[in-house]
Structure 1
Amino acid sequence: MRKAFLAMVLAASSAVEGQSADLGKVSANTPVDWTGPFVGSHFAYASGHSNFSLVGPGMPPSSGAIDLTNPIDAFKGTGSYALGLGGGYNYMLPSRMVVGLEADISFPNTVSGIATTTGVQGSQTLTQTVLTSGTLRARVGYAPGSWLFYATGGLAWSYDEAQLGPVDAPEDTTKTTRLGTVWGVGAELALSNNWSARFEYLSTNFGGKEIGFGGTAQRLSSDLAVQTARLGVNYRFGKEGQRGLQDGLTPFETDRFALHGQTTYLQQYAAPFRSPYIGTNSLIPNQTRQTWDVTLYAGFRPWSGGEVWINPEIDQGFGLSSTVGVAGFPSGEAYKVGAAVPYARIPRAFFRQTFDLGGETKKIDADINQFAGSQTSDRLILTLGKFAVTDVFDTNKYAHDPRKDFMNWSVVDTGTFDYAADAWGFTYGAAVEWYKGDWTFRGGIFDLSRVPNSTELDPSFSQFQWVGEIEHRHEIWGKKGKVAVTAFLSRGRMGRLDEAVTLARATGMPADVALVRRYQSRAGIGVNLEQEITADLGVFARAGLADGSKEAYEFSDIDSTFAAGLSLTGSSWNRPNDTFGLAGVVNGISSARQAYLDAGGLGILVGDGRLPNAGLEKIIETYYSLPIWSWRATLNYQLVTNPAYNRDRGPASIFGIRMRTQF
């Protein structure tokens, strides 16, 4: 823990010194007024420990200790790290003493541990997990120049989960809230008039807590102590607090460092529809679900053309029916893994190098995961690390970002593009882009999941995917457009659908493609078009085909697709910042996939238990987006005919609302 804290302190010190020097507004000797409200975010690494005792009828008392510290696993994305949000108020005295009050909340990834104990029926496992934690603290410090050194202390709380049960058996689960104390020390450095960086050490201690397990009548008494090293950033509103709330936060940008952020809330409702039967992967009528996320985009430019970006993120919520029921799923903000309690992830951590090769020099504005600067029309770009395949391939100006434009999976991406990804849509890999005149040639190799559609990427990289793309940019009557052809080839352990059906008929069981998996290939190809019609109107289209004899590996159960739509800004009705979008998509499956689903098989997103009357899945989506202060609100409607290719169910009307802001 001490080594981790020291590493974070050294990294923070190096970063903030470089930022201050580049910014030129705040130096180490510049006096800073710390008075005023602030909000912030932090990344933390935690080390936890719990002593417990367990008693119950008919069993001897048992006791022990649980270590809640977990190393970071890059391929599972797990570890004892957390992301958090906070805010407070500081007041600086004439002597440059600073007093303040702040509150924060942290969302861990995996602060959890397991112990084996003896129960009535033999060995059993006890698992303790910190789901959420927070503090309410005072701080007192001294502010020489642009630094603030402080001590802090106050109240702490945590929301925990305990699970108990026989080994490899369903567990009895209970949740509880703990109260305790926290103390720590830290340092904060002003980077600009608004932004500051901080690092701190916190020690939280909770007294004993007794809880009961209803299923086993056992009672657990345990304490909890957590040591945390934090690296964070704060945005100080100062005297412009009200303006900051209306206009949003100003991003932090220098020649070498950048910090952006966003948060998106999306709520969808599936209205009642005809549903004579329901299977495991069916869309459920008359239900509502929501998702929420917060993302920070931290960038470092080590040299000309080089960029390092990391995107820590907080995720929460579920897609409709836990993200199943429609092959063209209605929310691109819904992952295949949902959670009621927010949790931390690091979806992107990558390096990008741009080599200028000549031609016209163009200015590049700063944006999310992009530094301001310039680049030549002819260039070579190398991207290496963890990111989404669709960050580079199958992009479209009018339909590609479910946080900004359309929401449906098969509208924002080509439905047949079964791109390599974990259950959140990200993977490790490398991509090369060569821009030459009006042409761009792209190629990449990416890691597949260890098991199709799973949360863990293959650590051996023995299951992988090749992706290639050719793009041509053009002008028609002075209006810009492009056409791109994208192809993929996946190599991994996957099953043939007809073999799964044959086995099901022999055993009398529902078809299960997992039983016939072996190392083989699946390929697909797609075409992506975008075309500007006027300054306010653009159109797009996508079409694709994929191998329908095998299971879809990562994305969705779509073997053929065609989508088209338009995007229109509101200048003609005196609302130039508004956007209206309209799109339609038709998704299809092969006869082999139809037979598999009719035999009770389950796909990634679809599977009603049977499919006697199959048909094309047809979707119409429309949205209207408008600004509200620093936020952007979007109203969305989707009509899904034959959801999951089933003519016996639907049509389903899905209503959505999205709120988003970014800086």
Structure 2
Amino acid sequence: MLTLASLCVSTGAWSADLATPRAVVPAFVDWSGGYLGIQGSAGNAYGAYDFSNTSIGGRSLPSFRTGDATGRADLSRNATTAVGGLFGGYNWQDGPWLYGIEADLSAANLKRPVALGAFGDDTTGSDLGLIRVKTDLYGTLRGRFGYAFDRALVYATFGLGGANARVLATYPDRDTGAVALARRDLSYLGFTLGAGVQFAVSEHIALGIDYRYLDLGGSRRFDLGTVPGAAGGPVATQVAASAHQMMARLSWHPGGLVLPPEAEDAPGANLDERFSLHGQTTVVAQGVPGFRAPYTGPASLIGRQVQATTTATAFLGLKLLEGTELYYNPEFSQGFGLSRTLGVAGFVNGEAQKAGAPFPKLRSNRYFVRQTFGLGGETEDVPDGPNQVATRRDIERITVVAGKFALGDFFDGNVYAHDPRVDFMNWGIWASGAYDFPANLPGFTQGVMVEYNRAEFAIRAAYTQVPKEPSSDVLDPRVFRRAGTTIEFEERHILPILDQPGKLRIGFFTNVGNTADFREVVALTQAGVFADINDAAAATRASRRKTGFYLNLEQAVTPDLGVFARVSANDGRTESLSFTDIDNSVSGGVSLKGSAWGRPGDTVGLGTSRNGISASHRAFFANGGVGLLIGDGRLNYAPEQAFETYYALSLSKALTVSFNYQHIVNPAYNRDRGPANFFGTRLHADF
């Protein structure tokens, strides 16, 4: 999954006496020895309890699982929890290969209720009782097997896992009003499998990300009190437990680590190299306190919650022929955005996907071939990097890309605000909000992109598949009937007054997709043809066109200070297909490197956005419509406004920790809700 970059050995300076041996600087960290650390997961751990063989008074009930406390969708039938604690272990290393043993103990707050009445017969009502399951302790003893390169270690783990559980039951007596209580304490022991990566920040400190799956098995069948009354009787059940946990970890290595040089100190890229292998991993933890919310709809933002997302991507490249390259990007993703990535049109976590999962989910996000046709003249050397084999190419060239990719790889780029893994995270700031680029749920599509490039400008166009319907993970195969087209002109300049580079991008897009017309579905609902406007939308979807544009400016003011701005709009007549519920947007901000305070690798950013929707789109939401991301059930319209600031702290060339704050006024265009404040941290590594 993660890069195993070419290992190189840097040597110390020659002594004046040539007989003196050279000091050898290792190409990778030696992780041998003992270590201690702390670990935690805020909203990126999931636990499930499966009840089975349950009976009340001898009557068998169907199996059921704990659900989500919000009463909405149940996060793939798993319950979110926070986990954190201590770990320690010992490593042995032979060259780059590592093996070791580790133990950890973590506290948790997994609590979920199960209502018994929902599983009884029609005569028992809904108040037979409530069973609550609680876990507050997890522990593992694991072996580790890994590979070290540069400052990183990639490893797999396996071993034993355990947890406690308390099953608490409350059974009301409807005749007397009394309440019967029951409790059972359980212990689980099972196995755990996982993987992780860690990075040496200094000689004694390392940061890492660790995933583990725990299959804790099931309990024996046990008694759990008695439900009073004629419909009741003795309760018996058994419970199986499992968990997915993603931990951020900080470890201390008292024996010290010998560090290799930073990657940029290594020799330059070899233009004859045919392979490229890189990777990235990003963890975002984000929380929102409570805010004013007099009512809640099916796609509303919920206050007082914390969620986290994790992605890990491999960037594999192969130069088939000179000018012909093949790339493949498998990616693991885990976790959910706040409220399952719902409730804010300019959503607050750019790493959050609509296809979230409580366990690491593997997707082939990119696979494409790139053919470059040089047109002569001046050339440029392109170093090895993610999805780029080191090469020399003509500046004036035609490039053709065919396969699966993200339109953001080529369109609407901006050096200061375009990558939520390292800069702004708000969807309305890192992208043109009204640009409804075709994509599946994780943000990728299939098609062809063609670009003509010169030193002064570039013009590019793409023809790609669209989803089969709004927010669908399935791309429509009928590309000659339904597809998306994007054209962008990119102008490059040196601003004379500042003598600094800048770019202006102008983009136009038109999508033909299976969508509903807002005016039509509002009229049908108000006429009583449909009781629910969302049923009207689903029933009347047909091939319809949505068009729009964006303007995108980036300008360096000094080598450390840059500004950016975007303006975008679409026709606002039909449902959006892929991105979000924005018909017009204005955004901008500044990005400043930390050279002035002695931290040139750090970045601080300030950005803001203002998003709006058309009049017919407002009527859709006011009548109970649910869009791609929002839907409060009604609407007191006002533009959605966002402010975001972040500080990205560079710990090494490959490792960055960011602190993020966002303030959203009128989330989901609803002045009845909010304002809401969002606090986040982000750990990102690439190599």
**2:607 is the counterpart of 1:592:** no
What is the identity, as a one-letter code, of the residue corresponding to 1:509?
Answer: A
Cα drift, residue 484 of structure 1: 1.2
AA aligned opposite 1:243: L
Q: State the distance in 2 between where 1:475 and 1:427 align.
A: 34
Aligned mate of 1:334, from 346, 352, 355: 352
Q: 1:251 to 1:278 in 2, by over 3 A?
A: farther
In structure 1, distance between residues paired with 2:302 and 2:268: 44
Aligned position for 1:429: 447
Q: Find the residue that maps to 2:320 and give its secondary structure.
A: coil
Given the alignment, which residue of 300, 308, 312 partners 1:294?
312
Residue 521 in structure 1 maps to residue 550 in structure 2: no
Consecutive unaligned residues in structure 1, runs of 5 or more: 1-15, 26-32, 39-53, 61-86, 104-119, 122-133, 140-151, 160-175, 183-205, 223-238
Amino acid aligned to 2:602: D
Deviation at 1:283, TM superposition (A): 1.4
Report the counterpart of residue 649 of structure 1 in structure 2. 673
CA 603–37 in structure 1, closer or farther in 2 if over 3 Å, else same: same
Describe the shift of the 1:536–1:304 C-alpha distance in structure 2 as closer, same or farther (beyond 3 A): same
Which amino acid in 2 is paired with 1:494? T
- Check if 1:343 corresponds to 2:361: yes
**Residue of 482, 505, 512 corresponding to 1:463:** 482
Per the TM alignment, residue 99 of structure 1 is displaced from its structure 2 partner at its CA by: 11
| Partners of 2:473 and 2:542 in 1: CA distance | 20
Tell me how far 1:388 sits from its aligned partner.
0.5
Tell me how large the CA RMSD over aligned residues is: 4.8
Label 1:586 to 1:241 Cα distance change in 2 as closer, same or farther (>3 A).
Answer: same
Q: How does 1:495-506 map to 2 (within 5 A)?
A: 495-506=516-527
Question: 1:616 corresponds to which residue?
Answer: 639
Cα 1:505/1:528, change in 2 over 3 Å? same
3-state secondary structure, aligned to 2:345 = coil
Judge conservation of contact 1:252–1:258 (CA < 8 Å) in 2.
no
Deviation at 1:90?
6.3
Map of 2:495 onto structure 1? 476
Cα shift at 1:211: 8.0
2:584 corresponds, among 560, 576, 587, to 560
Q: Which residue is equivalent to 1:509?
A: 531
Which residue identity lines up with residue 327 of structure 1 in the other structure?
A
CA gap 1:248/1:384 in 2 versus in 1, 3 angstroms: same
Alpha-carbon contact 1:36-1:89 (below 8 Å) kept = no
Q: Which sections of structure 2, spanning at least 5 residues, go unmatched?
A: 11-26, 33-51, 61-88, 103-119, 122-139, 146-155, 164-186, 194-214, 225-234, 241-254
Q: Percent identity?
A: 38
1:215-249 CA-to-partner distances (Å, cap 9, x unmatched) read xx999999xxxxxxxxxxxxxxxx99542699899
Deviation of 1:375 after TM superposition, in Å, equals 2.2
How many residue pairs get matched? 516
- Aligned mates of 1:456, 1:135 — CA distance in 2: 41
Please state whether the residue corresponding to 2:259 is helix, strand or coil.
Answer: helix
2:418 to 355, 378, 400: 400
1:363 Cα deviation from its structure 2 partner: 2.1
Matched, 1:280 2:287: no
> Separation in 2 of the partners of 1:404 and 1:583?
14
For the 8 Å contact 2:29–2:257, the answer to whether it is kept is no
Go from structure 1 to structure 2 and tell me whether the alpha carbon gap of 1:514 and 1:631 turns closer, same or farther (over 3 Å shift).
same
Q: Shift in Å at residue 635 of structure 1?
A: 1.4
Do the aligned partners of 1:210 and 1:219 also contact (CA within 8 Å) in 2?
no
| Stretch of structure 1 that moved more, 428-437 or 548-557 | 428-437
What is residue 167 of structure 1 aligned with on the other side? none
* 1:633 CA drift (Å): 1.5
Using the TM superposition, give the Cα deviation of residue 458 of structure 1 relative to its aligned residue in structure 2, in angstroms. 2.4
Partners of 2:29 and 2:592 lie apart in 1 by 45
TM-score using structure 1 length: 0.67
Looking at structure 1, the residues matched to 641 and 29 of structure 2 have their Cα atoms a distance apart, in angstroms, of: 57
**1:574 Cα shift?**
2.6
Q: 1:138/1:272 Cα in 2 relative to 1: closer, same or farther (>3 Å)? A: closer
Secondary structure, aligned partner of 1:626:
strand
Cα shift at 1:307: 2.0
1:12-411 correspondence to structure 2 within 5 Å: 242-243=258-259, 255-411=273-429
The 1:446–1:599 alpha-carbon spacing in structure 2 relative to 1, beyond 3 Å, is same
In structure 2, distance between residues paired with 1:157 and 1:605: 38
Q: What SS class does the counterpart of residue 277 from structure 1 fall into? A: coil
Tell which deviates more after alignment, 645-654 or 267-276.
Answer: 267-276
1:252/1:260 contact within 8 Å kept: no
Q: Give the counterpart letter for 1:457 in structure 2.
A: L
3-state SS in 2 of match to 1:302: strand
Aligned partner of 1:76 in structure 2 is none
Alpha-carbon spacing, 1:642–1:372, altered in 2? closer, same or farther (3 Å): same
* Closer, same or farther: CA 34–593 of 1 in aligned 2, 3 Å: closer
Contact 2:162/2:216 (<8 A) preserved: no
**CA drift at 1:257:** 1.2
Relative to 1, partners in 2 of residues 1:285 and 1:367: Cα closer, same or farther, differing over 3 Å? same
Report if aligned partners of 1:448, 1:457 keep a CA contact under 8 Å in 2. yes
1:603 to 621, 627, 652: 627
CA distance 1:304–1:158, change in 2 (3 Å) = farther
Give the match for residue 490 of structure 1.
511
Question: 1:281 offset after TM fit, Å?
Answer: 1.2
In 2, are the aligned partners of 1:427 and 1:447 still within 8 Å (CA)? yes
Q: Structure 1 stretch 595-604 or stretch 249-258: which is displaced more?
A: 249-258
1:625 to 2:641 alignment: no
Query: How many Å apart are 1:527 and its aligned residue?
Result: 0.9
| Contact 1:251 1:259 (C-alpha < 8 Å) held by counterparts | no
Given that 1:500 and 1:515 are in contact with CA atoms closer than 8 Å, whether structure 2 keeps it comes out as no
Does the 8 A contact of 1:297 with 1:368 survive in 2?
yes
Is 2:571 the partner of 1:547? yes
Report the Cα offset of residue 539 of structure 1: 1.1
> TM-score, length-normalised on structure 2?
0.65
For the residue of structure 1 that corresponds to 2:339, the secondary structure is: helix
In 1, are the aligned partners of 2:549 and 2:570 still within 8 Å (CA)?
Answer: yes
